[in-house]
Structure 1
Protein backbone atom coordinates (compact mmCIF):
# COMPACT_ATOMS: atom_id res chain seq x y z
CA UNK A 1 0.00 0.00 0.00
CA UNK A 2 1.31 3.42 -0.94
CA UNK A 3 1.87 6.14 1.69
CA UNK A 4 -0.66 8.24 -0.20
CA UNK A 5 -3.31 5.53 0.29
CA UNK A 6 -2.57 5.42 4.01
CA UNK A 7 -2.99 9.19 4.18
CA UNK A 8 -6.31 9.08 2.32
CA UNK A 9 -7.63 6.24 4.47
CA UNK A 10 -6.63 8.13 7.61
CA UNK A 11 -8.23 11.34 6.35
CA UNK A 12 -11.61 9.72 5.78
CA UNK A 13 -11.36 7.89 9.09
CA UNK A 14 -10.87 11.29 10.75
CA UNK A 15 -13.76 12.82 8.76
CA UNK A 16 -16.07 10.04 9.95
CA UNK A 17 -14.95 10.55 13.55
CA UNK A 18 -15.58 14.29 13.26
CA UNK A 19 -18.95 13.64 11.64
CA UNK A 20 -19.91 11.50 14.62
CA UNK A 21 -19.51 14.48 16.92
CA UNK A 22 -22.15 16.45 15.01
CA UNK A 23 -24.92 14.54 16.75
CA UNK A 24 -28.55 15.48 17.25
CA UNK A 25 -30.15 13.13 19.78
CA UNK A 26 -33.64 12.12 18.67
CA UNK A 27 -33.95 8.74 20.39
CA UNK A 28 -31.74 5.68 20.70
CA UNK A 29 -29.99 6.59 17.42
CA UNK A 30 -28.78 10.19 16.88
CA UNK A 31 -28.67 12.04 13.60
CA UNK A 32 -24.99 12.51 12.70
CA UNK A 33 -22.85 13.37 9.70
CA UNK A 34 -21.18 9.95 9.74
CA UNK A 35 -23.24 8.59 6.84
CA UNK A 36 -22.14 11.51 4.65
CA UNK A 37 -18.49 10.65 5.23
CA UNK A 38 -19.07 6.91 4.88
CA UNK A 39 -20.58 7.55 1.45
CA UNK A 40 -17.85 10.01 0.51
CA UNK A 41 -15.13 7.58 1.55
CA UNK A 42 -16.41 5.04 -0.95
CA UNK A 43 -17.30 7.48 -3.71
CA UNK A 44 -14.01 9.39 -3.51
CA UNK A 45 -11.54 6.65 -2.55
CA UNK A 46 -13.18 3.68 -4.23
CA UNK A 47 -14.42 0.43 -2.75
CA UNK A 48 -11.18 -0.94 -1.28
CA UNK A 49 -9.78 2.21 0.32
CA UNK A 50 -13.22 3.35 1.45
CA UNK A 51 -13.79 -0.02 3.12
CA UNK A 52 -10.41 0.25 4.85
CA UNK A 53 -11.11 3.78 6.09
CA UNK A 54 -14.33 2.68 7.77
CA UNK A 55 -12.77 -0.49 9.16
CA UNK A 56 -10.03 1.65 10.70
CA UNK A 57 -12.73 3.92 12.17
CA UNK A 58 -14.36 0.94 13.90
CA UNK A 59 -11.01 -0.40 15.07
CA UNK A 60 -10.06 2.93 16.65
CA UNK A 61 -13.40 3.03 18.45
CA UNK A 62 -12.94 -0.53 19.72
CA UNK A 63 -9.46 0.34 20.97
CA UNK A 64 -10.90 3.11 23.12
CA UNK A 65 -10.38 6.19 20.97
CA UNK A 66 -13.42 8.49 21.39
CA UNK A 67 -14.48 8.43 17.73
CA UNK A 68 -18.12 7.40 18.04
CA UNK A 69 -21.01 9.82 18.63
CA UNK A 70 -20.81 11.81 21.88
CA UNK A 71 -17.11 10.87 22.11
CA UNK A 72 -18.05 7.26 22.72
CA UNK A 73 -15.74 4.28 22.32
CA UNK A 74 -15.37 0.63 23.16
CA UNK A 75 -17.25 -2.61 22.66
CA UNK A 76 -20.29 -1.36 24.58
CA UNK A 77 -21.07 1.14 21.81
CA UNK A 78 -20.93 -1.58 19.15
CA UNK A 79 -23.07 -3.82 21.32
CA UNK A 80 -25.57 -1.04 22.00
CA UNK A 81 -28.42 0.42 19.96
CA UNK A 82 -26.18 2.02 17.32
CA UNK A 83 -23.87 -0.97 16.88
CA UNK A 84 -25.52 -2.39 13.79
CA UNK A 85 -25.33 0.95 11.99
CA UNK A 86 -21.65 1.34 12.85
CA UNK A 87 -20.77 -2.21 11.82
CA UNK A 88 -22.41 -1.56 8.44
CA UNK A 89 -20.10 1.38 7.64
CA UNK A 90 -17.32 -0.63 5.94
CA UNK A 91 -19.85 -2.52 3.81
CA UNK A 92 -21.68 0.70 2.93
CA UNK A 93 -18.48 2.44 1.89
CA UNK A 94 -17.54 -0.58 -0.22
CA UNK A 95 -20.95 -0.59 -1.94
CA UNK A 96 -20.79 3.12 -2.70
CA UNK A 97 -17.23 2.71 -3.93
CA UNK A 98 -18.26 -0.04 -6.34
CA UNK A 99 -20.39 2.55 -8.16
CA UNK A 100 -17.83 5.35 -8.04
CA UNK A 101 -16.97 7.06 -11.30
CA UNK A 102 -19.83 5.49 -13.26
CA UNK A 103 -21.97 8.59 -13.62
CA UNK A 104 -24.09 10.49 -11.15
CA UNK A 105 -27.19 8.31 -11.53
CA UNK A 106 -25.25 5.09 -10.88
CA UNK A 107 -23.38 6.71 -7.99
CA UNK A 108 -26.67 7.85 -6.49
CA UNK A 109 -28.03 4.31 -6.76
CA UNK A 110 -24.86 3.05 -5.05
CA UNK A 111 -25.18 5.64 -2.29
CA UNK A 112 -28.81 4.65 -1.69
CA UNK A 113 -27.85 0.97 -1.69
CA UNK A 114 -25.16 1.78 0.88
CA UNK A 115 -27.70 3.60 3.06
CA UNK A 116 -30.00 0.59 2.72
CA UNK A 117 -27.24 -1.67 4.05
CA UNK A 118 -26.71 0.67 7.01
CA UNK A 119 -30.45 0.66 7.74
CA UNK A 120 -30.74 -3.11 7.42
CA UNK A 121 -27.92 -3.93 9.83
CA UNK A 122 -28.81 -1.07 12.16
CA UNK A 123 -32.48 -2.00 12.24
CA UNK A 124 -31.62 -5.68 12.84
CA UNK A 125 -29.44 -4.86 15.87
CA UNK A 126 -31.85 -2.30 17.29
CA UNK A 127 -34.72 -4.80 16.81
CA UNK A 128 -33.03 -7.19 19.20
CA UNK A 129 -33.13 -4.49 21.87
CA UNK A 130 -36.53 -2.84 21.37
CA UNK A 131 -38.46 -4.97 18.87
CA UNK A 132 -38.70 -4.73 15.09
CA UNK A 133 -41.62 -2.30 14.75
CA UNK A 134 -40.32 0.16 17.31
CA UNK A 135 -36.82 -0.15 15.83
CA UNK A 136 -38.17 0.79 12.41
CA UNK A 137 -40.04 3.83 13.73
CA UNK A 138 -37.12 5.03 15.87
CA UNK A 139 -34.08 3.80 13.96
CA UNK A 140 -34.95 4.00 10.27
CA UNK A 141 -37.94 6.17 9.41
CA UNK A 142 -36.73 9.46 10.96
CA UNK A 143 -33.47 9.25 8.97
CA UNK A 144 -34.67 8.58 5.43
CA UNK A 145 -35.05 12.18 4.26
CA UNK A 146 -31.85 13.37 5.91
CA UNK A 147 -29.85 10.44 4.54
CA UNK A 148 -31.17 10.87 1.00
CA UNK A 149 -30.01 14.50 1.22
CA UNK A 150 -26.59 13.27 2.43
CA UNK A 151 -26.45 10.90 -0.55
CA UNK A 152 -27.12 13.77 -2.97
CA UNK A 153 -24.43 15.90 -1.31
CA UNK A 154 -21.96 12.99 -1.32
CA UNK A 155 -22.44 12.34 -5.05
CA UNK A 156 -22.08 16.04 -5.89
CA UNK A 157 -18.99 16.48 -3.70
CA UNK A 158 -17.35 13.29 -5.00
CA UNK A 159 -17.86 14.44 -8.60
CA UNK A 160 -16.49 17.90 -7.80
CA UNK A 161 -13.42 16.34 -6.16
CA UNK A 162 -12.80 14.11 -9.17
CA UNK A 163 -13.21 17.05 -11.58
CA UNK A 164 -10.70 19.08 -9.54
CA UNK A 165 -8.05 16.35 -9.73
CA UNK A 166 -5.71 16.32 -12.74
CA UNK A 167 -6.30 12.64 -13.52
CA UNK A 168 -9.90 12.57 -12.31
CA UNK A 169 -9.19 10.37 -9.29
CA UNK A 170 -6.78 9.72 -6.45
Structure 2
Protein backbone atom coordinates (compact mmCIF):
# COMPACT_ATOMS: atom_id res chain seq x y z
CA UNK A 1 0.00 0.00 0.00
CA UNK A 2 1.16 3.50 -0.79
CA UNK A 3 1.49 6.20 1.85
CA UNK A 4 -1.33 8.10 0.14
CA UNK A 5 -3.64 5.07 0.46
CA UNK A 6 -2.80 4.59 4.15
CA UNK A 7 -3.46 8.28 4.77
CA UNK A 8 -6.81 8.16 2.97
CA UNK A 9 -7.90 5.07 4.91
CA UNK A 10 -6.94 6.76 8.19
CA UNK A 11 -8.74 9.96 7.17
CA UNK A 12 -11.99 8.21 6.29
CA UNK A 13 -11.90 6.01 9.41
CA UNK A 14 -11.52 9.20 11.44
CA UNK A 15 -14.30 10.97 9.53
CA UNK A 16 -16.61 8.01 10.17
CA UNK A 17 -15.80 8.10 13.89
CA UNK A 18 -16.50 11.85 14.02
CA UNK A 19 -19.67 11.41 11.94
CA UNK A 20 -20.94 8.80 14.39
CA UNK A 21 -20.74 11.30 17.24
CA UNK A 22 -22.89 13.85 15.42
CA UNK A 23 -26.09 12.17 16.49
CA UNK A 24 -29.74 13.04 16.83
CA UNK A 25 -31.50 10.46 18.99
CA UNK A 26 -34.97 9.74 17.60
CA UNK A 27 -35.56 6.34 19.16
CA UNK A 28 -33.90 2.96 18.75
CA UNK A 29 -31.89 4.06 15.69
CA UNK A 30 -30.34 7.56 15.92
CA UNK A 31 -29.69 9.88 12.99
CA UNK A 32 -25.91 10.20 12.55
CA UNK A 33 -23.49 11.21 9.84
CA UNK A 34 -22.04 7.68 9.64
CA UNK A 35 -23.95 6.92 6.45
CA UNK A 36 -22.69 10.15 4.86
CA UNK A 37 -19.15 8.99 5.65
CA UNK A 38 -19.86 5.56 4.17
CA UNK A 39 -20.97 7.30 0.96
CA UNK A 40 -17.88 9.52 0.92
CA UNK A 41 -15.62 6.54 1.63
CA UNK A 42 -17.12 4.73 -1.34
CA UNK A 43 -17.05 7.68 -3.71
CA UNK A 44 -13.47 8.68 -2.90
CA UNK A 45 -11.67 5.36 -2.45
CA UNK A 46 -10.95 2.32 -4.58
CA UNK A 47 -13.08 -0.75 -3.71
CA UNK A 48 -10.48 -2.54 -1.59
CA UNK A 49 -9.63 0.63 0.32
CA UNK A 50 -13.31 1.47 0.89
CA UNK A 51 -13.90 -2.03 2.25
CA UNK A 52 -10.77 -1.82 4.41
CA UNK A 53 -11.69 1.61 5.77
CA UNK A 54 -15.13 0.64 7.01
CA UNK A 55 -13.83 -2.75 8.24
CA UNK A 56 -11.22 -0.98 10.38
CA UNK A 57 -13.93 1.31 11.74
CA UNK A 58 -16.04 -1.72 12.60
CA UNK A 59 -13.12 -3.57 14.23
CA UNK A 60 -12.19 -0.53 16.32
CA UNK A 61 -15.71 -0.53 17.70
CA UNK A 62 -15.84 -4.29 18.23
CA UNK A 63 -12.66 -4.26 20.33
CA UNK A 64 -14.29 -1.70 22.58
CA UNK A 65 -13.14 1.71 21.42
CA UNK A 66 -15.98 4.25 21.69
CA UNK A 67 -16.26 4.92 17.95
CA UNK A 68 -19.94 4.16 17.37
CA UNK A 69 -22.83 6.60 17.94
CA UNK A 70 -22.92 8.25 21.35
CA UNK A 71 -19.36 7.09 22.07
CA UNK A 72 -20.38 3.46 22.31
CA UNK A 73 -18.32 0.45 21.37
CA UNK A 74 -17.80 -3.21 22.14
CA UNK A 75 -19.15 -6.45 20.78
CA UNK A 76 -22.54 -5.72 22.36
CA UNK A 77 -22.97 -2.88 19.85
CA UNK A 78 -22.66 -5.35 16.97
CA UNK A 79 -25.16 -7.83 18.37
CA UNK A 80 -27.51 -5.11 19.61
CA UNK A 81 -30.53 -3.66 17.78
CA UNK A 82 -28.47 -1.36 15.53
CA UNK A 83 -25.65 -3.83 14.88
CA UNK A 84 -26.90 -4.78 11.43
CA UNK A 85 -26.43 -1.24 10.18
CA UNK A 86 -22.83 -1.22 11.42
CA UNK A 87 -22.06 -4.65 9.97
CA UNK A 88 -23.33 -3.44 6.59
CA UNK A 89 -20.96 -0.45 6.34
CA UNK A 90 -17.95 -2.27 4.81
CA UNK A 91 -20.02 -4.01 2.14
CA UNK A 92 -21.99 -0.84 1.39
CA UNK A 93 -18.79 1.22 1.03
CA UNK A 94 -17.37 -1.43 -1.31
CA UNK A 95 -20.53 -1.45 -3.49
CA UNK A 96 -20.62 2.36 -3.60
CA UNK A 97 -16.95 2.48 -4.60
CA UNK A 98 -17.66 0.37 -7.69
CA UNK A 99 -19.38 3.34 -9.35
CA UNK A 100 -17.83 4.78 -12.48
CA UNK A 101 -17.88 8.26 -10.90
CA UNK A 102 -20.52 9.63 -13.28
CA UNK A 103 -23.74 10.91 -11.74
CA UNK A 104 -25.94 7.99 -12.84
CA UNK A 105 -23.50 5.36 -11.62
CA UNK A 106 -22.88 7.18 -8.35
CA UNK A 107 -26.61 7.39 -7.61
CA UNK A 108 -27.21 3.78 -8.62
CA UNK A 109 -24.38 2.45 -6.46
CA UNK A 110 -25.40 4.78 -3.64
CA UNK A 111 -28.93 3.36 -3.70
CA UNK A 112 -27.52 -0.18 -3.70
CA UNK A 113 -25.28 0.72 -0.75
CA UNK A 114 -28.12 2.14 1.29
CA UNK A 115 -30.27 -0.89 0.40
CA UNK A 116 -27.56 -3.10 1.90
CA UNK A 117 -27.43 -1.00 5.05
CA UNK A 118 -31.22 -1.03 5.43
CA UNK A 119 -31.52 -4.76 4.70
CA UNK A 120 -28.95 -5.88 7.25
CA UNK A 121 -30.08 -3.23 9.70
CA UNK A 122 -33.73 -4.25 9.57
CA UNK A 123 -32.92 -7.96 9.76
CA UNK A 124 -31.00 -7.50 13.02
CA UNK A 125 -33.54 -5.02 14.38
CA UNK A 126 -36.31 -7.49 13.52
CA UNK A 127 -34.45 -10.18 15.46
CA UNK A 128 -34.59 -7.96 18.56
CA UNK A 129 -38.15 -6.68 18.08
CA UNK A 130 -39.72 -9.89 16.72
CA UNK A 131 -41.84 -7.74 14.42
CA UNK A 132 -40.63 -7.07 10.87
CA UNK A 133 -43.15 -4.31 10.16
CA UNK A 134 -42.18 -2.47 13.33
CA UNK A 135 -38.46 -2.93 12.54
CA UNK A 136 -39.03 -1.49 9.06
CA UNK A 137 -41.06 1.43 10.42
CA UNK A 138 -38.40 2.23 13.05
CA UNK A 139 -35.27 1.37 11.10
CA UNK A 140 -35.98 2.51 7.54
CA UNK A 141 -38.96 4.82 7.08
CA UNK A 142 -37.66 7.77 9.14
CA UNK A 143 -34.31 7.64 7.35
CA UNK A 144 -35.13 7.26 3.65
CA UNK A 145 -35.34 10.99 2.86
CA UNK A 146 -32.44 11.91 5.14
CA UNK A 147 -30.18 9.22 3.67
CA UNK A 148 -31.13 10.23 0.12
CA UNK A 149 -30.07 13.79 0.99
CA UNK A 150 -26.81 12.44 2.47
CA UNK A 151 -26.19 10.54 -0.76
CA UNK A 152 -26.82 13.66 -2.86
CA UNK A 153 -24.52 15.69 -0.64
CA UNK A 154 -21.81 13.02 -0.89
CA UNK A 155 -22.11 12.96 -4.69
CA UNK A 156 -21.81 16.76 -4.89
CA UNK A 157 -18.85 16.87 -2.47
CA UNK A 158 -16.98 14.05 -4.14
CA UNK A 159 -17.57 15.32 -7.70
CA UNK A 160 -16.29 18.79 -6.75
CA UNK A 161 -13.30 17.59 -4.76
CA UNK A 162 -12.29 14.95 -7.30
CA UNK A 163 -12.56 17.57 -10.07
CA UNK A 164 -10.09 19.81 -8.21
CA UNK A 165 -7.76 16.95 -7.26
CA UNK A 166 -7.65 15.56 -10.78
CA UNK A 167 -7.07 18.99 -12.36
TM, length-normalised to structure 1 = 0.95
Give, in whole Å, the separation in 2 of the partners of 1:3 and 1:58. 22
SS in 2 for 1:165: helix
Deviations 1:144-167 (A, max 9, x none): 000000010111111111101136
Give, in whole Å, the separation in 1 of the partners of 2:107 and 2:55. 23
Instruction: Judge which range, 44-53 or 158-167, deviates more.
Output: 158-167
Offset, 1:100 = 4.2
Give, in whole Å, the separation in 1 of the partners of 2:82 and 2:22. 15
The match for 1:146 is 146
Deviations 1:20-47 (A, max 9, x none): 0011111111000000000110111121
Deviations 1:93-127 (A, max 9, x none): 001000142x1111011111100100000000000
When the two chains are superposed, the root-mean-square deviation of aligned CA atoms in Å is: 0.9
Unmatched runs of 5 consecutive residues or more in structure 2: none
Q: Does 1:124 align with 2:123?
A: yes
Give, in whole Å, the separation in 1 of the partners of 2:5 and 2:100. 17
Aligned positions, number: 166
Deviations 1:38-62 (A, max 9, x none): 0110111121111111000001111
Say whether the 8 Å CA contact 1:43–1:100 is kept in structure 2.
no
Say whether the 8 Å CA contact 1:35–1:147 is kept in structure 2.
yes
